[in-house]
Structures are given as structure tokens and as C-alpha cells.
Amino acid sequence: MNERNSTLATMISTLAICGAALAGGGSTGGGGDPPPPPPPPVGDPIQVCGTLFLTPFLGAICASIETHNGEIYLLGETGGFEHGDAICVDGLLLDEAQCDTFCEVAALEAFQGCIFDAKITPDTPLSLSFTGWGMIDADGGCTNFAADTGETFLLDASGTQYQPDTGDYIYVSGTIQDEACAEGCDPNDGCLVADEIDLAGDVDGDGSVGFADLLSLLSNWGPCAECPADLDASGSVDFADLLIVLSNWG
């Protein structure tokens, strides 16, 4: 009798443990909540620019970008852009093993991975500000600007009153673009689109260096901080400024 009661007590205890496990969401081989999904793969930040390609495949559209370096990445979205658009993509990179998308077989060439959580923007030409002095070399319809920084730009002065001539030493304020601004001309380090051009020695700003500039220089001879006649910004008008006027005469 005692043995029977002991066995019954053991069975009741076992059922109680199982019931508590089920009530608490535990699993005994069936029922309960399904396990949580695995976390999304972690990618490395990536920023690339290139051409968007939209490839029809099995009733769907597979998006990819071919970068300026010839690399191909699959995209999970298009950002509203169309096939052939120049775009830049900023997102997270998964390698080929992590991509796990049927668009992999639609890629006609080897690809470097997938980009997800991407921000897609237009790929616009490089535009950088520039200010500085340099020498003009106008040859064969192409106006080159050899900057004192060591770079050579194709100069677009169409937005100014200045007419460039070979040998002019000028100060240019403008923007650099990574494209040619004159047909048949080598852009070298880019196209410099001038917003403002000052001819060295042109004290009165009339576009030429002459007696009016010489008189203005002489009338301000001596200490003269931040005055137009202080051409080399030394804080005084002296022989160095006179040499700038004489070397750009005409």
C-alpha cells in the first residue's frame, strides 16, 4: 500500500512539473510559442556609385548596381530610380554566402554581394570649390589654367567679363567639376567654372592693367592693410606690388 501511494505521488508530481512548464511557455516536445526568428545578418557599411540595372526574372525585377570600378552588387530596392540611372547607394553589405536571394541566379556576371537597408540618391558630378592664383595658357581654343597648387584645369570663364589670354596671371574663384567644359579639350584635373576672376595688377578692376592701376598703386604707397593696391596682401604697397603691375601690363 505504501509502495502504491509512493508511485501515485511520483506521477502527480511529474504531471505538476509538466503543467507548470506548459503554463510558463516551456516546450515538452509540442505546443507553446514558436521559437523567435534568427536575427538579420549583420553587414558592413558601404557607399558606391554607378549605374542601376533592372533585370526581369521569373516574373519579378532584380535590381543591381554596376559601380564605376566594374563591381556588381544586388540591391533589395530601387529608390524609385529607373534602369540606366546614375545612382549612389549607401547601405550595408552582405557577402555572396549571406545574400540568400533568388536574384543571385539572375546575375549574369559574378557579383560582390548584396546591399540592404540602402539609401539611394542620384550620382551627381563632383563639384568642389576653388580659389587661388594661376597662369593662363590659351592654345587651340582650349583655355588651361595652371594653378599655383600644381593642378591644371580647363577654364570656363563664360560667366565672367574676363577674356583670358595666354600669360595672364589671374585669381579665380569658382567650382571644379569632373567633366570637360569644352568639346575636344582635355579637362586635365577637371573643369574650373569661374564665378569671379581678378587679373593680377588690375587694381581698379576694369579688366586690364594700365596707368590707372599704376597711379592707384603709387597713391597708396606704404603701409596699407587690406587695400586693393596691396596686391600680394603683405600689409603694405611696395616694389613687390609694382612688379606685379608691370609684369601684367596691358
98 and 48, same structural domain? yes
CATH number at residue 150: 2.40.50.500
Average pLDDT over residues 82-104: 79
Average pLDDT over residues 160-179: 83
Average pLDDT over residues 184-198: 83
- Domain hosting 66: range is 44-122
Q: Is residue 195 assigned to a domain?
A: yes
137 and 112, same structural domain? no
CB atoms within 10 A of CB 121: 13
142 and 110, same structural domain? no
| Per-residue pLDDT, 14 | 41
Q: Percent of the chain, pLDDT > 70?
A: 75
Residue 162 · residue 196 · CB < 8 Å: no
| Per-residue pLDDT, 82 | 92
Q: Is residue 224 assigned to a domain?
A: yes
Single-letter residue type at 13: S
| Per-residue pLDDT, 221 | 92
Average pLDDT over residues 87-91: 89
pTM of the prediction? 0.46
| Per-residue pLDDT, 52 | 92
Name the DSSP class of 37.
P
Residue found under cell 506521477: 11
| Per-residue pLDDT, 44 | 83
Q: Is residue 13 assigned to a domain?
A: no
Domain total of the chain: 3
Angle (deg, nearest 10), helices 239-247 and 211-219: 170
| Per-residue pLDDT, 102 | 59
DSSP secondary structure letters along 114-178 = EEEEEEEEE-PPPEEEEEEEEEEEEETTEEEEEETTS-EEEEE-TTSS----TT-EEEEEEEEES
Q: Which of 148, 141, 137 is nearest to 181 (CA)?
A: 141
In this predicted model, what pLDDT tens digit does every residue of 97-138 receive, in sequence order?
666 565 765 554 567 788 888 889 888 766 678 888 888 988
**β-bridge mates for residue 137, sequence order:** 144
